[in-house]
Structure 1
Amino acid sequence: MKKDPFQYIFRFCCDPGFNDAEEIPALLRYVDEADIDDVAVFANVEEINTGHMSFDEQDVYLAMMRKISALLAEKGVTMSVNQWHSVMHADLGKTLRPEQNFRPMVDVEGNEAKLCVCPLCGEWQKYIARLYARYAELEPSILWVEDDFRLHNHEPLAWGGCFCDEHMKLYSARAGKPLTREEFLAGVLCPGEPHPYRKIWLDVSRETMLSAAGAIGQAVRAASKQAKVGLMSSAPHIHAAEGRDWHALLHTLAAGRPPVDRVHLPGYQENSPSNYLHGFNMVSMLTRVMLPSETEVYPELENFPFSLFSKSRRFTRFQLLSALPLDLAGITIDLYDLNGNGIVWEDGYQQMLHRTKPYLNALSRSGVFKEERLGVRVLYSPCSSYTLHTREGSSMEELYPQEAFFAGLLPAMGVPYAYAGSPELTGQIVAASGQVLRNWDAGTLARLFANNFVILNGDAARTLCEMGLGRLAGIESVRWLRQNDGGYAYEQVTNGKTYRGRKNARASAIVSCSDALDVTYAQGAQVNEYTALYDSFRRRTAHGQVVVDGRVLVYPFGNFESSVSIPPMLLNSMRQAVLHDVLRTAGAPFPLVCGAPYLEPYCFVRDGGLDVYLVNGSTDDADAVELAFSAGTAPESAEVWRSYVEQAAPQAAVCEAVGTGVRVPVDVPSMEAVLLRMPAPGAEGETPA
């Protein structure tokens, strides 16, 4: 079988009896022209979905899949199965069939779905297990479980479920008393210290999905020793609110085979490449670190609603290049209508896929993305919905963690990062946002602050104070200043330094910024203020960015509206320069990209050197790459792998010294990428492994 280091999995929709006679030959041609490795054949998909399909309906798809599988095998290409529904994405005006004795999902308001089912329903579990067992008999490469395998987002339900009678019995049994849905939810969402009902909700929800996963995984394994089961997942901050245990869920579905996940790429429609990278770093990269390390990852390349009006070929290529830091086995590709319309040759995606494949293969073959990551350690926990405090207690969205802020901000400003699931670190620069610190006890946090340089945004600093641990950051008390309430209008440099050619440089802090934390520092704390906040009358109103005792940066902004975006006002050259100054002073053991907004670095440590993968999320080209290093660590040369040259092969570059850093004479066009492989000091001239 064909086995490229980077696998293209093409998701193929065909309407049996309508256009299969034309589209199956077209598929075989597409496989050749786009360099496809695996074809995931849809069943009962989207616009031609008939609800929870009957086994007679499945027979039609099984016959078509057998035919496709045999034809693909002649080309050395594998086949997978993309069964489009499990619980069901949405009702969409359909209902359960009379013979389908499935228990409907019930939402937070008591509304009962017409088609979407409770995942704990025994009758449905038997049904879905049989569907998957019959597919498994075809011996496909991967059997995909769609991203409707979740509790949230099942229109027209409010948020999701499940609050059916059977689930309410489970919640009541664990609470030790009969509970109404309203009473239970009031406890789940109770402001302040989590009520015991919160843990009951998350535990039962977790067990519910594991039960359904077990039904699928075991059925597949009984029918096939080899077929893998892949999970299509959504945003991790939302899955957190339904108690997802990523490791247990992936292993339960895998049933003894390697776990497989289709990580969500947050860009169904084209937007600015810089905004896309915010979402990628805050959603896709966070999902990756929550998966078992051995998981085969094939992220979701999709251009819904399926045409060049949704996404250009160039932006689609940009998604391929920018996805590589996920450490991929390949990617799933969903580019054409799911209504049986067939492959649209005129869109020309196939030529772009073919041209891009050699670079994806070359970098995957190098193993660079499996290396140890280097950068600011951004703290996260998959268990944060168990520990965070809600404010109002009025919606399930209050259970969504906001821990990925720095993963969105830092790379946009030229700072590499790496997620860290534990604060047990030493000698690192560590960033905390949201309420992530609530996941660890006082002793653990004391070691974190004693052994590392820590960056806190406003939410994290406030959380630390609410935990009674403000002293760890030299903080006595805090209070929120609300954006646009007149308390502050801009941030101004106060340390006497010149940044970006401006003394006393200013950055706006209104309209599209955020709330800011007014911090009172403890008596005796050494406060090194970089900036302060001022109102419209030029009156100083609060500290801005402050380094405390040489070991904590308080970055006062927070209270963000979204878990997956960065307030645009926080992104400017003055704030980038201040951040770089703080990190260099703190002894950052990694390079910083100077200037060049959205030239985003992913850094990896290699025996004998350093690898830096740069993705240009700006619509401006970068004429060269300037990297700041700690004194004595700048390289003299680099091996350069450009994404935009015809041959996927390295070229040598001599670095020009600039201060303690270097200027690498390599251009990075907009939405393209470059890998720089640099030797360690004293190892010049050695070839990267």
Structure 2
Amino acid sequence: MFSFRLYDVFDLTDSRFEQLLDFFRKYEGAADALTFFTTSTHAPIPLEAAKERVAVLKLRMQEARRRGFRAGINVMTTLGHHNEHLPHSLAGPYTRMTGIEGDVCQGSFCPNDERMREYVRELYRLVALAEPEYIWLDDDIRLANHRPVGQGCFCDTCLERFGVRTCATYTREQLKRQFNEGPEADKLAIRRQWLQHNRDTLNRLLQLIEQTVHEIRPDMPIGFMSGDRFYEGYDFPGMERTLSDNGETAVMWRPGGGFYWDERPAELTAKSHAIGRQVSLLPDRVTDIQSEIENFPYQRIRKSDRLTAVEAACHIAAGCTGAAYNVLSLTGGEPYDDEYGPLLRQLQKNRPFYDLLVGKLGRSKPAGLHTGWNMDSFAVQRLSGNWFEGYIGHITGHHALELFELGLPPAYSESAAVVSLLAGESVRAMSDKQIEQLLQNGVYMDGQALEQLCAMGYGEEVGFRVESSVREDCIEQFTDHPLNGAAAGRKRNCRQSFWNVPAAHLVQTQPGAAALSRIVNYANEEVSLCGSGIFENKLGGRIAVAGYYPWTMLHNQAKSIQLRRLMRWLSKDRLPAYIASFHKCNLWVREMADGRYGIVLLNSSMDQADDLALNIKTTSDRIRITDMQCSDTIVSASSSNGGYSSFLIPPVGNWDVRFIELV
């Protein structure tokens, strides 16, 4: 489903609202549904204000349905987002969201406070009685980033509930020490317990909402808006079970993240990967998955029509089945068509392409490289420091963004992975069984992950150890190993004096471990015989260790050649498809209902992609390429090698998308 989320509808005059509906009718197909916010501010509103607003929204929804749209309500604030419009927001003896230092957010509230739970019960009763076709919960149902509070909630009630769980008593100061001091095993244990406490807290709130809504409307679909919720324990399977009453009613999902304007278009694909992670945990029965596309705070030309349209396609490629657009401001008095007509025309024009992607790809899982994340990943965040001192890339999966820009496809589920990408301390969030399974397959890791695995007793399976770290003047030079191909002898200088990343001096510890590169300095003097290498262990697993800038500065030709060949080797040629030419592209590969691959290709460069070569694991010799206007081109294979057929793709414009399927 494709919907629009609309602020301030309750404040519009009847004639202004009629103009809004006329506007959407003019661009038929851009929207199937109109979803109305309960408020335009980010702290919970008093119940009396909520009652007045949903009474207006009830009439607005009736009129929208009369015009042919589905209509529902988005509860903008349940717990609250942060401090805003406080003099006219919820007040009273409710416990505010509290940080571990005792700081509080006046505009957000603790979900374990029984008085707040009574407020939530009455709020959702009012919303359900307004007869929406569905109810959306917004992304304030979380425990982090309620500014100025970073992570919550550490109020007395939450500490007491956690104490009951752990059979202990804690002050905030004591709990902070437990999180950050002492043996790593002890820190991991209590951090995992806190993540489970967070999961239980949110599920308890969602159960209250589900029961309240379904007592009034047993068949009411409830939608949940998510993000990359690592601190909350990423329990989307549990949340879906709760909201659906164990599958008895339909649940909708709206995965999201931040990409509000297009000054940094690479944030678009980063958001797609975050959305892919969120969707990967949902059961197949969840079929209405609308990506959040948000151009907040609605500075009209700060994000282009084209990139807004491309964003919807990329999020479908990552696993969504629709989109929820939050792109319009209704506060001005100008004609809607003057400001937003071009955007709606763009979305209307591309709607057949979105429908094609959804129809072909369904709920299939993207296959390729998995970043090693799981629901406990946040437990190992800064394991040797302050737990809450900002996110680290290997926790969120951001460490692999440049690899994906080389046209190497992501997998968001372990079950769809052909290679695992291990960074930092991420392995500490995994069980021994998970690690042993990974080491039987293909693994690409950095030096820190190697050190962790060796310390955990897996040195024999990984083939290398880190001798030392070198922090200045290091340059990588590729050896003449066959995997380097034409890149043999070439150098890669990532300039440690500007972007300081320690280089790992690796030592082979097992027979058969081979160097892919060595480390030299600016005088061409050898610093290390091995800066990266490969090894095949006795379990049959293939290991690659990258000690020199493993995740960044990958966009030169020599490194791209090496990495594409390396990923094929690690996967034992199970990599489903990849870009074989020197282009900056993102690729999502999914198996369609008929067993064939469906591929979504994004040219992630500001340059047009000419002479782009796509290698697909297939014996077929023809593909169909569909552009965003649903024009088709049939292309025959130019060559084949090792079970892969190579296809030359006709020119793809900058930041443009193609859908590719085997004929």
TM norm structure 2: 0.89
Q: Choose from 172, 191, 198 the match for 2:191.
A: 198
Larger mean Cα displacement after TM superposition, 215-224 or 654-663: 654-663
Which residue number corresponds to residue 130 of structure 1?
122
Q: Secondary structure at the match of 1:213?
A: helix
Contact 2:484 2:516 in 1 (8 A): no
3-state secondary structure, aligned to 1:11:
strand
Mean CA deviation greater in 536-545 or 180-189: 536-545
1:291-319 Cα offsets, whole Å, 9 max, x none, are 33333311111112212342111111110
Q: Identify the residue that residue 449 of structure 2 maps to in structure 1.
A: 460
Secondary structure in 2 matching 1:509: coil
Q: Structure 1 residue 591 and structure 2 residue 582: aligned? A: no
1:627–1:662 contact (8 Å) kept in structure 2: yes
Aligned equivalent of 2:603, options 612, 616, 632: 616
Q: Distance in 1 between matches of 2:476 and 2:513?
A: 17
Does residue 1:573 correspond to 2:557, yes or no? yes
Q: What is the 5 A alignment of 1:33-72?
A: 33=27, 35=29, 36-46=31-41, 51-72=43-64
Distance in 1, Cα, partners of 2:267 & 2:205: 35
How far did 1:79 drift?
A: 0.5
What's the counterpart of residue 538 of structure 1? 524
Which position in structure 1 is the counterpart of 2:359? 365
**Which structure 2 residues correspond to residues 397-412 of structure 1 after superposition, within 5 A?**
397=390, 402=395, 404-405=397-398, 407-412=400-405
Alignment partner for residue 215 of structure 1, among 190, 196, 208? Answer: 208
Deviation at 1:176, TM superposition (A): 3.8
Is 1:509 aligned to 2:500, yes or no? Answer: no
Does the 8 A contact of 1:265 with 1:284 survive in 2? Answer: yes
Shift of 1:478: 4.8
The 8 Å contact of residues 466 and 504 in structure 2, kept in 1 or not, is answered as no
Match of 1:682 in 2: none
Question: Contact between 2:589 and 2:599, CA under 8 Å: does it hold in 1?
Answer: yes
User: How big is the shift at 1:30?
Assistant: 1.9
Distance 2:434 2:38 in 1: 49
CA distance 1:343–1:199, change in 2 (3 Å): farther
Deviation of the 1:477 alpha carbon: 4.2
User: Alpha carbons of 1:69 and 1:28: their partners in 2 closer, same or farther (altered >3 Å)?
Assistant: farther
Query: What per-residue deviation string (whole Å, max 9, x for no partner) do you get for residues 13-58 of structure 1?
Result: 2353554531343234224415210101011212xx6x43233322
TM-score normalized with structure 1 length: 0.86
Structure 1 counterpart SS, 2:27 = helix
Q: Which amino acid aligns with 2:64?
A: L
- CA shift at 1:383, angstroms? 1.8
Q: What SS does the aligned partner of 2:300 have? A: coil
CA contact under 8 A between 1:194 and 1:387: conserved in structure 2?
A: no
Cα deviation, residue 654, structure 1 = 2.3
Which aligned pairs between 1:160-179 and structure 2 lie closer than 5 A? 160-179=151-170
3-state SS of the aligned residue for 2:297? coil
Q: Taking structure 1 as reference, are residues 502 and 421 closer, same or farther at Cα in structure 2, changes over 3 Å only?
A: closer
Report the counterpart of residue 563 of structure 1 in structure 2.
none
The gaps in structure 1 that reach 5 residues or longer are 1-6, 560-565, 680-689
Q: 1:599 to 1:413 in 2, by over 3 A?
A: same
Tell me if 1:635 matches 2:620: yes
| Cα distance between partner residues in 1 of 2:523 and 2:615 | 37
- Judge conservation of contact 1:403–1:434 (CA < 8 Å) in 2: no
Which letter does structure 2 place at the counterpart of 1:9? Answer: S
Match of 2:173 among 162, 182, 195: 182
Q: Does residue 114 of structure 1 match 2:114?
A: no
2:514–2:533 Cα contact (<8 Å) kept: yes
Instruction: Give the 3 Å change call, closer, same or farther, for CA 144–98 of structure 1 in structure 2.
Output: closer
Please state whether the residue corresponding to 2:660 is helix, strand or coil: strand
Return closer, same or farther for 1:27/1:520 CA change in 2, 3 Å cut-off: same
Query: Paired residue for 1:415?
Result: 408
Contact in 2 for aligned 1:241/1:396 (Cα 8 Å): no
Deviates more, 1:244-253 or 1:270-279: 270-279
Residue matched to 1:100: 92
CA drift at 1:356? 1.0
Aligned CA distance change for structure 1 residues 64 and 558 (closer, same or farther; 3 Å): farther
What amino acid sits opposite 2:81 in the alignment?
A: H
| Local SS of the residue matching 2:589 | strand
Tell whether the 8 Å contact from 2:483 to 2:565 is kept in structure 1 after alignment.
no
Preserved CA contact (<8 Å) 1:411 1:598 = no
CA distance in 2 between counterparts of 1:146 and 1:443 reads 36
- CA apart distance, 1:89: 0.8
* Structure 2 SS opposite 1:419: coil
Matches within 5 A, 1:296-311: 296-311=288-303
Match of 2:280 among 289, 294, 305: 289
Of 74, 87, 109, the match for 1:82:
74
Secondary structure of 2:505's counterpart equals strand
Distance (Å, rounded) in 1 between the aligned partners of 2:422 and 2:218: 43
Q: Which residue of 1 aligns with 2:546?
A: 555
SS in 2 for 1:675: strand
* 3-state SS in 1 of match to 2:185: coil
The answer as to whether partners of 1:279 and 1:408 remain within 8 angstroms in 2 is: no
- Work out which of the residue numbers 655, 676, 682 in structure 1 matches 2:637: 655
Give how far 1:218 is off: 0.9
Amino acid at match of 2:586: E
CA contact (8 A) 2:447 2:546 kept: yes
Asked whether 1:472 is paired with 2:456, we answer no
**Identical-residue share of aligned pairs (%):** 19
Q: Is the 8 A contact 1:145 1:230 kept in 2?
A: yes
Deviations 1:233-266 (A, max 9, x none): 22x2xx2223342111222123332222211143
Q: SS of the residue aligned with 2:151?
A: coil
Give the whole-Å Cα distance in 2 for the aligned partners of 1:353 and 1:41: 20
What amino acid does structure 2 have at the position aligned with 1:241? Y
Q: 2:346 aligns with which of 344, 352, 357?
A: 352
Q: 1:96 to 1:172 in 2, by over 3 A?
A: farther
Q: Is the 8 A contact 1:8 1:38 kept in 2?
A: yes
1:154 aligns with 2:140: no
Q: Following the alignment from structure 2 to structure 1, what is the Cα–Cα distance between the partners of residues 90 and 412? A: 49
1:202–1:386: 8 Å Cα contact kept in structure 2?
yes
1:84–1:445 distance in 2 versus 1, CA, 3 Å: closer
**Taking structure 1 as reference, are residues 29 and 170 closer, same or farther at Cα in structure 2, changes over 3 Å only?**
same
Determine helix, strand or coil for the equivalent of 1:242. Answer: coil
Going from structure 1 to structure 2, the CA distance change for 1:210 and 1:649 (only over 3 Å counts) comes to: same
Q: Distance in 2 between matches of 1:341 and 1:254?
A: 41
Task: Tell me what 1:315 maps to.
Answer: 307
Counterpart-to-counterpart distance in 2, 1:373 and 1:149: 28
Q: Calculate the aligned-residue CA RMSD, in Å.
A: 2.9
Cα distance in 2, alignment partners of residues 598 and 388 from structure 1: 30
* Aligned with residue 505 of structure 2, among 508, 512, 518: 518
CA, structure 1 residues 198+411, in 2 after alignment: closer, same or farther (shift >3 Å)?
closer
Using the alignment, how far apart are the partners of 1:149 and 1:415 within structure 2? 34
Q: 2:513 aligns with which of 518, 527, 536?
A: 527
| Separation in structure 2 between the aligned mates of residue 162 and residue 342 of structure 1, nearest angstrom | 43
- Counterpart for residue 259 of structure 2: 267
How has the CA–CA distance of structure 1 residues 558 and 95 changed in structure 2, closer, same or farther, with 3 Å as cutoff? farther
Summarize deviations over 1:77-120 as a string: whole Å, max 9, x none.
Answer: 11111121111111236168797331122212112332321111
Q: Distance in 2 between matches of 1:111 and 1:576?
A: 47
- CA distance in 2 between counterparts of 1:59 and 1:383 reads 40
Contact 2:586–2:603 under 8 Å retained in 1: yes
Give the residue type in structure 2 aligned to 1:416.
Answer: P
* Paired letter, 2:34: V
Shift of 1:9: 0.8
The alpha carbon displacement at 1:604 in A equals 2.4
Give 1:252's aligned residue. 242
Using the alignment, how far apart are the partners of 1:653 and 1:98 within structure 2?
61
Question: 1:201-256 CA distances to partner (integer Å, 9 max, x unpaired)?
Answer: 2222222111111111111111112221111122x2xx222334211122212333
Separation in structure 2 between the aligned mates of residue 447 and residue 502 of structure 1, nearest angstrom? 32
